[in-house]
Structure 1
Amino acid sequence: MSHANAVLTPRTRLRLARLIIHDGWTCAAAAKMFMVSPRTAAKWASRYRTEGPAGMADRTSRPRTSPTRTPPVVVRRIVALRWRHRLGPVQIAGRLGVPASTVHAVLVRCRINRLSRIDRATGEPLRRYEHDHPGSLIHVDVTKFGNIPDGGGWRYVGQQQGDRNKATTALRTGRTDRGNPRIGTAFVHTVIDDHSRVAYAEICADEKAATAIGVLRRAGAWFADRGITVERVLSDNGSAYRSHAWAQACAELGIKHKRTRPYRPQTNGKIERFHRTLGDGWAYARFYDSTEQRNAALPGWLHFYNHHRAHSALGGQPPITRLTNLPGHHS
């Protein structure tokens, strides 16, 4: 690829060389016409004479040999220290006796100069993936939020007032167990499309297989209304997703089921990250006077997330923009 400020492109070089070789122009005359030096014109004419049109292409400026390049054995030791011990350039330089600038250059070249690109658990480079079209894979999971007592929870009213509100609400709902007030848990079943990050969520009373299957069916219909045909579903190894009923429901819907490797939540990382966004943006974002008030706010927040919230993994665009030919998706 030619330099952005290059005077001659491969096509222009060919025109210049042909004027000199075929039309008998002098190098000085051709150089004046194309506003380059006679030496440059002579170079392209000579290359055209020996190599033909193929010689007009750009060539790498990399030298044939690099005597001062970091030896491969040192590169391997730098990478090993980075992966296994997550050391910075200065610490690695101190151990290996090489300049920190050299270590940094090696880390940049190997694309491990940022620790965010290295898996904390294994030390291996992160392997990110994204399916190429909506519906190719959806992630499903369940996240839990404690219900909010009447009058607000401890996060906003303080621990003492929160405990009193909890006791009052438990007494009203009849959930006091041996003097221990219980106000229940909200099980939020979440579904997110791998390619577009468009999300669907429901608040349920449990995380049993029948409930998860109902969410999957309704989510599939919701995605279908938006032109998405679900092909695969990825879940963790929860009991609901290991049940025969779940496998049968996936078969009926024509969906291939995949499960993550045990103790590797990173495999389902997109929905795990969505849960954090869900908590920060909806569950704990503001004061709620009751669980019902928080539940009522979920549909509005989901619309904001899908249609208006800028997503860093999508170049600052909301998820809905990845669904093509969808009328009114900017509303």
Structure 2
Amino acid sequence: MNNPHHGARLTVHSREQIVRRISSGQSASDVAEAFAVSVRTVRKWLARFRAGGSAALSNRASAPARVSARLPEPLIALVLHLRRSMRMTGAAIAHKLGLARSTVSRWLKRAGVGRLSRLDPPEPVRRYQRERPGELIHLDIKKLGRFDRPGHRITGTRTGCRNKGAGWDFVHVAIDDATRLAYVEVLGDERKATTTGFLLRALRWFRSQGIRVERVMTDNGSAYRSGRFATALRLLKIRHIFTRPYTPKTNGKAERFIQTLMCEWAYGLAYPSSQARNADLTRWLDWFNHARPHSAINGRTPADHVNNLLRTHI
């Protein structure tokens, strides 16, 4: 509080000088003229010094010492008790105690319980990682807009860069839980036939990398719930695991991979068209699998980690 604003006439040092000059016999008017302040200001600081010594020359807090309309502490405690123990709404608390809703709301926000969800303890973070390659493969789909000219992300303007009616691309991803080895295709839709075809090609690709898939995790999308998708997994003797409804973090590795995919591939370069973007996927995916280190697997690349784990579990 002792750093005055840039337009302040007096600092703590100046106030001490004022007191010294008055004590040495100078008049208040002479001292006021020397420091370019009013006589009243000089007398104020002199009075404060006489009342509290040098410590009184420091800046005081700007908050008022007394607030006439402030709620008594017992009443504030009662408001918070009703909120925490009985989970009452702010309106119900205000009605019960005869207070203004704005007053109750202000104190609830100040205590950090303005939302009822804040009363529940946060769900503990549950992290898991399979030990063997192929023990669990995560599948997911990301929808991307097609374009035949660069959009506003690149040009910086929305004028003349709309791609109305261009349609959508659907990025199907599969990533191994233990190694982060990934397989991706850009397809025209997310229907059951397309999704099942991607599944079979992904399984075939993982098999070519020495990985035999045991389980597959997906969300509850209609294609993943279809009979065709279920039949394919049943014939291949692969277990199908669904995420909890409305809980995408259950399939977190696929979600995180999609974030990386969007940041480093889809939006990482200024592509002239979506065709050019899709053509660059092979290059990026090869770099991701063979050259990009991952902190979650001790700085190894997915391909290196696959070879290491396969040797371990032979």
Q: What do residues 144-197 of structure 1 show as CA deviations (whole Å, max 9, x unaligned)?
A: 1111223x1110013334xx2435xxxxxxxxxxxxx21111100000000001
Task: Compute the displacement of 1:209 (Å).
Answer: 0.7
Percent identical across equivalent pairs? 47
C-alpha contact 1:166 1:183 (8 A) present in aligned 2: no
Q: What do residues 74-100 of structure 1 show as CA deviations (whole Å, max 9, x unaligned)?
A: xxxxxxx9xxxxxxxxxxxxx9xxxxx
C-alpha contact 2:219 2:251 (8 A) present in aligned 1: yes
Aligned residues: 193
Runs of 4+ in 1 over 4 A off after TM superposition: none
2:162 aligned to 141, 166, 179, which one?
166
- Output aligned runs, 1:129-208, within 5 Å: 129-150=128-149, 152-161=150-159, 164-167=160-163, 181-208=164-191
Residue 313 (str. 1) matches residue 296 (str. 2): yes
CA change 1:133–1:326 in 2 (3 A) is: closer
CA change 1:264–1:160 in 2 (3 A) is: closer
**C-alpha distance in 2 between matches for 1:131 and 1:314:** 12
CA change 1:242–1:154 in 2 (3 A) is: same
Instruction: Give the aligned residue type for 1:212.
Output: T
Q: Hey, what does 1:245 align to over in structure 2?
A: 228
Instruction: Give the aligned residue type for 2:155.
Output: V
C-alpha contact 2:133 2:309 (8 A) present in aligned 1: no
Residue 229 (str. 1) matches residue 231 (str. 2): no
- Output aligned runs, 1:314-329, within 5 Å: 314-324=297-307
Task: Compute the displacement of 1:125 (Å).
Answer: 1.9
Task: Compute the displacement of 1:122 (Å).
Answer: 6.4
Task: Provide the secondary structure at the position in 2 that maps to 1:189.
Answer: strand
CA change 1:134–1:286 in 2 (3 A) is: same
Task: Compute the displacement of 1:124 (Å).
Answer: 2.2
Where does the alignment leave 5 or more consecutive residues of structure 1 unmatched? 1-80, 82-94, 96-120, 168-180
C-alpha contact 1:149 1:166 (8 A) present in aligned 2: no
CA change 1:256–1:153 in 2 (3 A) is: same
**C-alpha distance in 1 between matches for 2:291 and 2:239:** 31
Residue 276 (str. 1) matches residue 272 (str. 2): no
**C-alpha distance in 2 between matches for 1:183 and 1:274:** 26
C-alpha contact 1:148 1:288 (8 A) present in aligned 2: no
Task: Compute the displacement of 1:325 (Å).
Answer: 6.9
**C-alpha distance in 1 between matches for 2:158 and 2:286:** 35
**C-alpha distance in 2 between matches for 1:273 and 1:305:** 14
TM-score (normalizing by structure 2): 0.59
Task: Compute the displacement of 1:312 (Å).
Answer: 1.4
Between structure 1 and structure 2, the one with the greater Rg is 2
CA RMSD of aligned residues (A): 2.1
C-alpha contact 1:135 1:231 (8 A) present in aligned 2: yes
C-alpha contact 1:166 1:182 (8 A) present in aligned 2: no
Where does the alignment leave 5 or more consecutive residues of structure 2 unmatched? 1-83, 85-110, 112-119
**C-alpha distance in 2 between matches for 1:224 and 1:122:** 43
**C-alpha distance in 2 between matches for 1:225 and 1:325:** 16
CA change 1:194–1:122 in 2 (3 A) is: farther
**C-alpha distance in 2 between matches for 1:191 and 1:260:** 15
Instruction: Give the aligned residue type for 1:237.
Output: N
CA change 1:183–1:124 in 2 (3 A) is: same
